[in-house]
Amino acid sequence: MAVIVITGASSGLGEALALHLSRPGTTLHLIARRGERLNAFAERVRERGSLPRLHVADVRSPDAMQDVATNVLGEGPPPDLVIANAGIRGEGDGNSGKVLEEILATNVLGAAYSILPFLPAMREARKGQVVVVGSLAGYRGLPDAGAYCASKAALMAWTDSLRLSLKPDGIALSLVNPGFVTTEMTRRNPYPMPFVMSAEEAARRIVRGIHRESPRIEFPLPMVLMVRLLALLPPQTGDWLIRMFSKKNHESSRRLD
Ligand SMILES: NC(=O)c1ccc[n+]([C@@H]2O[C@H](COP(=O)([O-])OP(=O)(O)OC[C@H]3O[C@@H](n4cnc5c(N)ncnc54)[C@H](OP(=O)(O)O)[C@@H]3O)[C@@H](O)[C@H]2O)c1
């Protein structure tokens, strides 16, 4: 009887992960703010034989997430898997305090508030897995996405540290860094999305990495190589390449107008 907790389960990657992990004998705790979306989705999980448990909560609230954990732990054994997936891209480039605050509160603090309340019980049981959904955008500051990139960079450093402290207690941690995935978050993107993939394909790759307990689950490979190379280059060279790429895309999209 597996117990799985997923935040951001009302759309996109969270939904796809929940479906991929649904099987008879599994209890899926699904968390998001939009209760009506969770309700509609729960039926699909039930059809696959899993027991859906719904929690309408905001990951930015430590009290709300503590309440969720208390409910989950009150029902049965500690979770086998906690996936902190909820995240936002936000409006604007992140060069305003409000945007920066909102994105960091959701993507960084929200991930921490989703995981931390479960850790004492998981540590005591000496088992379980924690998964955090970051992004390849965390490797390098990209144009018009400063706050988003900063939030995902923070998750890389935080999860590297947390992984080290969880390992002796028998808890594995994976950070997932996807490239572009077709979801509500990217549907309105005005720029080209190289190597974009469906949420179902992304979920399949993530679940494979979870089974292997990979510390980093990153895909697609060409994007992984590109962002890792960009991160290694001197900043001026990286800036120049990004400017060239943006200019080329701007020109080709104007030709299409
Ligand atoms: N799509 C991509 O190309 C891509 C690439 C790399 C990484 N990612 C990451 O993948 C994760 C999932 O994103 P997605 O693409 O699936 O986007 P999405 O379809 O917009 O889903 C985001 C999910 O997060 C939930 N959420 C947002 N703010 C929340 C809050 N304050 N409290 C609780 N839940 C909240 C949303 O639910 P409610 O609105 O109902 O609360 C929704 O279920 C994010 O961490 C994102 O950064 C996405």
Q: Give the CATH number, domain containing residue 228.
A: 3.40.50.720
pLDDT 10s digit of each residue in the chain, 257 long?
799 999 999 999 999 999 999 999 999 999 999 999 999 999 999 999 999 999 999 999 999 999 999 999 999 999 999 999 999 998 877 778 899 999 999 999 999 999 999 999 999 999 999 999 999 999 999 988 999 999 999 999 999 999 999 999 999 999 999 999 999 999 878 778 899 999 999 999 999 999 999 999 999 999 999 999 999 999 999 999 999 988 776 665 554 43
Residue at 44 is within a domain: yes
Residue at 145 is within a domain: yes
Q: How many domains does the chain have?
A: 1
Cα–Cα nearest to 228, from 163, 156, 173, 162:
156
Residue at 142 is within a domain: yes
Provide the pLDDT for residue 255: 47
Provide the pLDDT for residue 250: 61
Indicate if 113 belongs to the active site.
no
Residue at 111 is within a domain: yes
Provide the pLDDT for residue 164: 98
b/e for 47-69, b at 16 or more Cβ within 10 A? ebebbbbbbbbbbbeeebbeebb
Residues in contact with ligand 1 by the CB-under-6-Å rule are 7-14, 32-34, 37, 58-60, 85-88, 106, 110, 133, 135, 178, 180-181, 183-186
Residue at 245 is within a domain: no
Residue at 67 is within a domain: yes
Provide the pLDDT for residue 257: 39
Provide the pLDDT for residue 252: 56
Structural domain of 38? 2-232
Residue at 120 is within a domain: yes
Residue at 244 is within a domain: no
Type of residue at 200: E
d(CA 202, CA 186): 14
> Ligand 1 center to residue 40 CA distance, Å?
17
